[in-house]
A and B are shown apart, each in its own frame.
Chain A
Amino acid sequence: MVDAFAYVPAIVLLPFFSFLVALGAGRYLPKGGAFGGIAATAGSFLLSLWVLATVAGGRAYNETLYYWASEGGAGIGPTDIELTFGVLIDPLSALMLVIVTLVALLVHVFSLGYMNDEGETGLPRYYAGLGLFTASMLGFVVADNLLMAFMFFELVGLCSYLLIGFHFREPGPPSAAKKAFLVTRFGDYFFLVGVVAVFATFGTATFAGEGSFPALADAALNGSGSVAWIPGGLELQTWLTIVGLLVLGGVVGKSAQFPLHTWLPDAMEGPTPVSALIHAATMVAAGVYLVARMYGFYALTPTTLAVIAFIGGFTALFAATMGLVKDELKQVLAYSTISQYGYMMLALGAGGYVAAVFHLTTHAFFKALLFLGAGAVIIAMHHNEDMWDMGGLKSKMPVTYYTFLAGSLALAGIFPFAGFWSKDEILYEALVHAPGEPLLFGGYLMGLLAVPVTAFYTFRMVFLTFHGEPRSATARDPEPVRWNVKGPLAVLGTLAVVTGFINMVPVQKVLGLEGIDVLHRWLDNEWGGIDGLSSHHYADLGPYSSEYLVGGEVGTVLVGAAVSLGLALTGVLVAWRLYNVPSPTEHTAKLGGIKDVLYNNYYLDELQVWLAYRTEDVAGGADTFDQGIIDGVVNGVSSVSLFGGNRIRRIQTGIVSQYTAILTLGLVALILVLGVTGGWFL
């Protein structure tokens, strides 16, 4: 029998080959190499489905494929470290493979409409970038150890740089690309230190199995094992928290959490399909996926979890408020992405592993949908992204409108669209685990407050774009879009409606129906998986216990769902009142100074630039110290030698008799000194 797991490397390599083909021969191929990319991602998608089916058949896979640093079968260094490439397929990575390959495939198809039909140049470069981007993310997803994950994490960052800066002849994109690269690199720096710390502490960085670092950490905390190294006599718990926070640095950078979120809105300078790929399935998802991947480690350190939850909740609210006042379609979506990933971090921090993966799944579909929908609108509007120039597109482009509406309902968390189920579960998890955890409770409150804000800005966007009267000539006569735009939209629109049904925990709890929480059972290894990587195991490790506030479990489920749905509907209704009119006005202007603060992103960009300049001052001081003190000492020593040499060389007269005299006098002097100190003359 042919084993699906043997083809896992092919899932990663197919897009990589499409990258090579597009790079090497793209200019000779029709459509700039697009079909190679489509074929490769379609192949990867089919293989991923097969892998998913195999995992559903009760099997999992955890194999080291290649040792790239080891000695004669043994590890290197005092702790026997082996640096490897391997593949880890468990329910989580199998699910993620399907999501990534599906979104990548649809983005490739959409690119035909967005890039090729719009007559862009440099298409081989574009498709090469997409292929490498997909390959890097897939490599990251199947990685079986932290170092391999880190390497692909960096590749993802590189690809985002290449693709955001695709239109490198304009001033904006290269600057945005550099910003994305540098800001995420700042986080990755901590990640790298964290990887080294994990290797030093445990001597291994594998995610799964007996000798994996989460298992070793657990054993060490239980007292049934020990770790190889702890610096400076720290408590084990303290040190594990520090390592967790270091790795979290990379997560905060990539998943655009506060305070490293500033790169993401600028990344909108890239082509819209790239934005869809970055925000839905790759890059930004990588951060959250990493936390989920090593959740067995994070679950051991309550402090880290609380920090994750608080950062997540804060980011969710913080980004949502900025989305309220933006004028450009993609900007609103960018802030919604930051906000939604904040929710996932809140879920992870609150012990809601399944909830986070659930939201990751649903968000991948509805955010890809929204971005591709925005791309369709941008095609129709001749690349004008200002929502105040749109309006009335509803009747002109019905497919885009209805799919976009489905995505928006999902984003706003309206029953029964996908986002409702996942967001509700996140808030429920946070709520039942919050008592006694002030940070977590703060995160929950902010997450809850972000619900109406999200609903409001989402529907402000929908109403401004599609409803009312057209407000410009292009909006009156938009350019039509073809099948290659509508097809992906239809697929994703359907998914945005139905994905929520894979995990209807509230319905199960309220009605007592069994077996409709498929994702829960899936991540709990009910069909198959690897020991120690199940949601049950994580829940046992985690520090939280559930407390139901009102009316037991069922009551809490109902109240929680009702509150979040009510808040979301309030947001929608407010947006409806304010913006669903023939010619809406900019109500946010009434906010006055607050609007300016929000519109300028709380001046965080300015703050970071200011910080960068302060860093420059410090660097200038260090430079002065280096040039003045360090170099001064070195130069001083050499000047003294030069001067002394100049004087002392005068004794080299070249006259032999004088040398003899000096020799003799020296001997006499030596004998005198020895005689006096040795007491010969006494």
Chain B
Amino acid sequence: MVPVEWYLLLAVGLFCIGLFGVLTRRDALYFLMSIELMMNAANINFVAFALYYGDLTGQVFALFVIALAAAEVAIGIGIILVLYRNFGVTDVTVPTEMRW
């Protein structure tokens, strides 16, 4: 059986890729994808610990997170649509109205 540390390292790697995407990309669609990666990193953690402790709580949580991710994408796409409609771009550095 694969030790739980490997799963955790995989999750950390996946999370860092997602974080890197959020920090470096300027396109809002990349944001959505990167966030999806970060959530899946969390999912891997849940499932890995469910396996480790031998109960189903983690798996149930993972299912919830998947549903949540779907809802988040729906809202995110909506926000991006509005962004595009108002500014003609999906670059998040262009709209800077909400500042001091």
Interface residues of A (CB under 8 A from B): 649-650, 652-657, 660-661, 664
Contact = CB atoms under 8 A, between A and B. Distances in A.
A652 B23 contact: no
Contact of B96 (A654, A661, A664): A654
A657 B99 contact: no
19 contacts: A652-B100, A654-B95, A654-B96, A654-B97, A654-B98, A655-B93, A655-B96, A656-B31, A656-B92, A656-B93, A657-B23, A657-B24, A657-B92, A657-B93, A660-B22, A660-B23, A661-B23, A664-B19, A664-B23
Contacts of B98: 652, 654
A488 B97 CA distance: 92
Nearest to A646: B100
A482 B93 CA distance: 104
Contacts of A657: 22-24, 26, 92-93
Nearest to B26: A657
> Main secondary structure on chain A at its contact with chain B?
helix
A74 B90 CA distance: 76
A654 B24 CA distance: 16
Interface in B74-100: 92-93, 95-100
Nearest to A667: B19
A650 B26 CA distance: 21
Q: Which 6 interchain pairs have the tightest Cβ spacing?
A: A654-B99, A654-B96, A649-B100, A656-B92, A652-B99, A652-B100
A649 B97 CA distance: 14
A515 to B, nearest CB: 100
Contacts of A649: 100
A654 B97 CA distance: 6
A644 to B, nearest CB: 13
A664 B18 CA distance: 12
Interface of B: 19, 22-24, 26, 31, 92-93, 95-100
Contacts, number: 29
A664 B24 CA distance: 13
Most buried by B among A650, A653, A656: A656
B69 to A, nearest CB: 18
Contacts of A653: 96, 99
A659 to B, nearest CB: 10
B100 A650 contact: yes
B24 to A, nearest CB: 8
B30 to A, nearest CB: 11
A650 B23 CA distance: 20
Nearest to B100: A649
Contacts of A654: 95-99
Contacts of B93: 655-657
Given A655-B96, A660-B23, 19 more contacts: A649-B100, A650-B100, A652-B98, A652-B99, A653-B96, A654-B96, A654-B98, A654-B99, A655-B92, A655-B93, A656-B31, A657-B22, A657-B23, A657-B24, A657-B26, A657-B93, A660-B22, A664-B19, A664-B23
B33 to A, nearest CB: 15
A656 B92 CA distance: 6
A656 B26 CA distance: 9
Contacts of B23: 657, 660-661, 664
A136 to B, nearest CB: 66
Contacts of A650: 100
A620 B97 CA distance: 52
Nearest to B99: A654
Nearest to B97: A654
With most chain A CB atoms within 10 A of its CB, the pick from B26, B31, B93, B100 is B100
Contacts of B31: 656
A261 to B, nearest CB: 69
Nearest to B28: A656
Nearest to A645: B100
A649 B19 CA distance: 26
